[in-house]
Chains A and B, each alone.
Chain A
Amino acid sequence: MARRLNFMAREGTAARLLPWVIAIMVLLSGLAVALGAALFGSMRAWEDATARSITVQIVSPEPDVLETEAEAAEAFLKGQPNIIDVRPLPQSETAALLAPWLGGDVVDQDLPLPRMIDASIAPGATVDLKRMAEQLSVEAPHARLDSYADWLANLLDLTRTIQLVALGVIIVVGVAMVAITVFATLSRLASQRESIELVHLIGARDGAIAREFQWRFLWIGIKGGIIGILFLAIVVSVVIYYGQRLDSAMLPDLRIDWWGLAILAGLPLATGIMTMLTARITALRVLAGQV
């Protein structure tokens, strides 16, 4: 590595604020990364949990019909290839599922509850659910087959949209960070104009001068990145703390995979590299216009 010339004096107060501005940028982009990573992790968990599940629901005001068709539907499902774990839900479980929505008192009364039968598609198998639903309607006319596929598709569309928004935030923050670094570099070039002219006249090449800028801004970027990540850790800790105090039944289980954590951990270095390259390129372009 070439030796630094150290020809520039220390920055003024305004320039010393730069790491803090970068820290805020890193916090914003870190929040976007964390949100995107959490949604991606949750999306995979939802897919794992629901993609192979099917539920048959029999709805009728007639108790006799419910009993008859529930038995017919269970027998039908057990007779289907690639369908496993067929399990009629006891009435108590069905009531428990509805209790948060209708209230325990209402469900405990003589409210006609639908009959539910859970089942799973065998791992690796594919089932024509539409055809199966048609065949089921012959055996049990009041039965309805839910595969969660449509519901899951809509949820995945939503999460992907949110992820795209997060990506957009990261890009905008990245562009803002580059712009701030360019302004800071130009400001430093202007404030150090006499020193730069001196080392030019002594025989320094543009690359050697730009190197002073690149190492300085690498450190500023890393410093800002570390501060930003610490802010992020505080914000995420607060969110997790208050999230745990809420009834989590209404909230999806957000989790960040190892690669999401790796991206967050790498943000300070990535920020440093970005500010370093930006400063170097900016300095070289300005210096090229000088005598």
Chain B
Amino acid sequence: MLRRDSREKTGHLGPFIAGFAGPGRMAVAPPIGNMPFCSFVRVQGIGITGAEEVVVVRFENVGMRYGMGEEVLKDISFHLEPGSFHFLSGPSGAGKSSLLKLMYLAHRPSRGLITLFDEDIILTPRKALPALRRRIGVVFQDFRLLDHLSAFDNVALPLRITGEKEEMIKEHVSELLEWVGLAERMHSRPPTLSGGEKQRVAIARAVIARPELLLADEPTGNVDPAMGDRIVHLLLELNRIGTTTVVATHDTRLMESVPGAPRLVLERGELTVTRTGLSGAAETAPAWMTPRER
């Protein structure tokens, strides 16, 4: 098992963390200072950025409504390149959660085309959805931890669903919980954890199966600024090792902490994009955003 002190001395990472760096994808470096999370630097990206790479998410003229109500998302078009990092922002009720629901396959669009990993989700049979979902990690705004399970068992859930061996689960989950600073709390149940601890358990659960797409809904919404910084650091580290990441947030401080990250901005169900990095999308910012935010 990986121990922090040995990491700091040797720069060696445990099998789970190192496992993020698949063949030809990237290498890992020793952690920075006394940050609780490991640090990675990308050195090569053949596997996920090569000529035959697929678009991770593609929306074309997508509309969505609940029941017979008005459309909450209107003509949404964008696509996410592999390994990209985006913020998703907008006022409350603008449709951020609805857009995320479409991306993590909790809802079907009313119209338009959505592809995930080049698979049209409308044409994908229901039986094939679990395989797609296993490639996606989700950090829910309300964590959605199972209160009757320990932090360890909550994080282990995705691995148990995919039928991994218990020895491997024990090793990797312990390592990841140590990585996010919860080694001492791994046997605690969620009701006894603080908001920040729950947040980190939720993040650990989202990344334990090494998803190709990570969707985080207000991941810093319940934590203090210091913890928020640590979470952002973790998300960036995951992104640097190739995980396509979308972070939904209201937090302008959080968005400013990642200069250059494209922002998907939703207002009244319509999407605009600020910053560069997305193709086929508008480059105009909504009126409610300040010029500084652009």
Q: Which residues of A contact B (CB under 8 A)?
A: 2-3, 5-7, 9-10, 194-195, 197-205, 208, 288, 291
Residues of B99-147 whose CB lies within 8 A of A:
104-108, 126-127, 130-131, 133-134, 138, 144, 146-147
Q: How far is the CA of A10 from the CA of B147 in the complex (A)?
A: 11
Among B107, B134, B158, the residue within 8 A (CB) of A291 is B107
Contact B108 A291 (CB under 8 A): yes
A-B contact pairs, 15 of them (CB 8 A): A3-B166, A5-B161, A7-B146, A10-B148, A194-B144, A198-B146, A200-B130, A201-B105, A201-B133, A202-B157, A203-B130, A203-B161, A204-B130, A205-B127, A208-B161
Contact A9 B146 (CB under 8 A): yes
| A291 partner residues in chain B, CB cutoff 8 A | 105-108
Among A199, A201, A208, A288, the residue within 8 A (CB) of B106 is A201
| A203 partner residues in chain B, CB cutoff 8 A | 130-131, 133-134, 158, 161-162, 209
Contact B106 A197 (CB under 8 A): yes
Q: How far is the CA of A208 from the CA of B130 in the complex (A)?
A: 11
B35 part of interface (Cβ distance < 8 Å)? no
| B280 partner residues in chain A, CB cutoff 8 A | none
Q: A197-B106, A201-B138, A203-B134 are in contact. Are A3 and B163 (CB under 8 A)?
A: yes
| A194 partner residues in chain B, CB cutoff 8 A | 144
Among A5, A9, A195, A197, the residue within 8 A (CB) of B160 is A5
Q: A197-B106, A291-B105 are in contact. Are A3 and B130 (CB under 8 A)?
A: no
Q: Which of A7, A10, A203 has the most CB of B within 10 A?
A: A203
Q: How far is the CA of A201 from the CA of B158 in the complex (A)?
A: 10
| B127 partner residues in chain A, CB cutoff 8 A | 205
Among A9, A10, A204, the residue within 8 A (CB) of B161 is A204
Q: How far is the CA of A195 from the CA of B190 in the complex (A)?
A: 14
| A202 partner residues in chain B, CB cutoff 8 A | 133-134, 138, 157-158, 161, 205
| A10 partner residues in chain B, CB cutoff 8 A | 148
Q: How far is the CA of A283 from the CA of B248 in the complex (A)?
A: 34
| A204 partner residues in chain B, CB cutoff 8 A | 130, 161
Q: How far is the CA of A194 from the CA of B148 in the complex (A)?
A: 13
Known: A203-B161, A205-B130. 14 other contacts (CB 8 A): A3-B163, A5-B160, A5-B161, A7-B157, A9-B147, A199-B161, A201-B138, A202-B133, A202-B158, A203-B158, A203-B162, A204-B130, A288-B126, A291-B106
Q: A198-B144, A202-B158 are in contact. Are A6 and B131 (CB under 8 A)?
A: no
Q: How far is the CA of A6 from the CA of B150 in the complex (A)?
A: 11
| B157 partner residues in chain A, CB cutoff 8 A | 5, 7, 199, 202
Cβ-closest chain B residue relative to A209: B161
Cβ-closest chain A residue relative to B127: A205
B149 part of interface (Cβ distance < 8 Å)? yes
Q: A203-B130, A291-B106 are in contact. Are A9 and B148 (CB under 8 A)?
A: yes
Cβ-closest chain B residue relative to A7: B146
Kindly provide the distance from the CB of A127 to the nearest chain B CB, expressed in whole angstroms. Answer: 70
Q: How far is the CA of A42 from the CA of B194 in the complex (A)?
A: 71
Cβ-closest chain A residue relative to B133: A203
Cβ-closest chain A residue relative to B165: A3
Instruction: Give the 6 A-B residue pairs with the shortest CB-CB distance, closest first.
Output: A203-B134, A203-B133, A9-B148, A203-B130, A204-B161, A205-B130
